[in-house]
A and B are shown apart, each in its own frame.
Chain A
Amino acid sequence: MRSSLFFERYTLRMSTIWQSFQLMIVRGLPNTILLTLGLVVIGLVLGTLIAFAQVYGSRPLRWLCKIYEQVFRGIPILVLILIFHSGLARSFHILLPAFVSALIALALRSGAYQSQIFRGAIQSVPQGQMMAARALGMGKIKAIRYIILPQAFRLSLPPWANEFSSVLKDTSIASAISVLELTKQATLSYTRLSVVPGFGAKWTLVILLVLALIYLVLTYAGNAGLRFLEKRLRIPGFELKGKIER
């Protein structure tokens, strides 16, 4: 008798956890992925442009980039998102959809971080490489394209993987402006469960653990993929040993 009641309860609880998990994947994951990929790609474009401007650009250009970088690394993510969502709306009556506000804010921020990664990578390529290339008669642009960039790209992969993991988790802040992503969906699940007889507020932890697990798996998968990429693209003998001269 007793064991069958236990079994019933157990299956009910397991199926509820499974149900919540499914909901998070089906209704929450798409936006999380879309946001992450979108912001990373936009950030990539921005980051490369700014990195270039900072390494090879004129003084005023470098100064502008410095400002951009300081501003978008120095403001908390939530504040940035709110500026684009509520700030623009209230002050200039520019109404952006929540997803777009989050995307722009996060992309600008990621662009700032990525520009630092690329700048560091470019500057880590030994100066001698550029000198040798010029000595061989290559123009500056050719040298950058065929000598500097390939090396800088490989050097930037490890820190870039870091940035990718970071922004994936940052997307959860978008839940604050009602974007239906993983965290928001989890919130809908546990607020409901808290009043379901047989469950209750304690189940908040269970749901949040499932959510955390999902983020963990995503981060791990992302990192694993990037590590694979790193290995595939590795140039034997070329590792970052430190700058030869400056």
Chain B
Amino acid sequence: MKRAILAIFVIGLFAVSGFAQTYTVASDTTWPPFEWADTEGNLLGFDLDVMRCIAVLQGFEIDIVSYDWDIIFDDVGIGRVDIGASGATITDERELKVDFSDPYWTSDQAVLIRVDSGLNIVTALSGGAVVGAQVETTGAGFVQGLIDEGIDVVLQEYSLYPLSVIDLINGNVDAVIQDEPASQASATAEDELTICGVIKTNENFGFFVAEGDPNGLLALLNDGVAQLKDLGVYDNLVRAYMGTDITKVEAAWKASIGLLNAGNVVDFAESMADLSN
């Protein structure tokens, strides 16, 4: 009898020690290079790998799910998912629904145009120009701000960013405004498009959690980001994801993810940076 109890206790200890808290992470995986799904269904991206590295460092597990941008703030806000990692700019409006971490990325808006349109950053945003943007993005907000100030520009909104790019190629819009990394990715992929200018909006991306941070995650996330920066992991991930060929990054990830799964954050980031460039 006593032996049985002891055995159960020991087994229990093992079970508990192997048990790690798992948090669900929502991400709108339609936005390279921050988050997207590769051809095997793996979810990768700058945001997601930063989250994965933080999880390894802080000792919790994460389960990343593809989520729709339209309801991501609502659902994280009420706690249906624990964390949101989706290239979200910290805005007052969004602060009403969710709690943001400290900024982990500073972004600017880039303006994409057709190479043969002859527009520059000023003419692309005035004089009756039609500018495309994704709904509920800060880019769309920026153009709306211009309209509110009386500048003659038209805002055309799209549910997804690639749709605005298609219209730009077709000539239905004169320019597309979107965060710099995504715009760069498009400019690399499309011969007929180029970035005519960057608007320094100094937007900050933050991870977000339910209002009131019931799981006490923000502290872990902020500390995690700080650690990643100290370890050089952050810079390596930037080198891996920003301005690189998406197919190379995907190959790099498949080759390197084993390192991360083994708990080796630093080598993972280094490998990513080396193989993506």
Contact = CB atoms under 8 A, between A and B. Distances in A.
A201 B165 contact: yes
Interface string A170-189: 00000111101000100111
Given A190-B162, A191-B162, A197 B30 contact: no
Contacts of A187: 30, 160
A177 B72 CA distance: 9
Contacts of A89: 74-75, 78, 80
Interface string B162-184: 11011001000000000000100
A86 B198 CA distance: 37
A175 B190 CA distance: 28
B242 interface: no
A180 B41 CA distance: 11
Contacts of A19: 39
Contact of B163 (A85, A180, A204): A204
Nearest to B39: A19
A23 interface: yes
A93 B37 CA distance: 31
B68 A175 contact: yes
Contacts of A93: 78
B1 to A, nearest CB: 43
B224 interface: no
Nearest to B37: A188
Q: For this complex, into which size category does the number of interface residues on chain B fall?
A: 35 or more
B257 to A, nearest CB: 18
Contacts of A85: 71
Contacts of B79: 95
A188 B71 contact: no
B160 A201 contact: no
Interface in B54-70: 65-68, 70
A195 B247 CA distance: 10
Interface string A181-211: 0001001111110111111111011000000
B163 to A, nearest CB: 7
A180 B29 CA distance: 12
A26 B182 CA distance: 28
Contacts of A176: 68, 70-71
Given A178-B65, A180-B66, A204-B166, A194 B71 contact: no
A62 interface: no
B246 A192 contact: yes
B181 to A, nearest CB: 10
B169 to A, nearest CB: 6
B38 A192 contact: yes
A90 interface: yes
B139 interface: no
Interface string B190-224: 10000000000000000000000000000000000
Contacts of B166: 201-202, 204-205
Contacts of B74: 86, 89-90
17 contacts: A19-B39, A20-B39, A23-B39, A23-B41, A176-B71, A177-B68, A178-B65, A191-B31, A194-B186, A194-B189, A196-B246, A197-B246, A200-B165, A200-B189, A201-B165, A201-B169, A202-B169
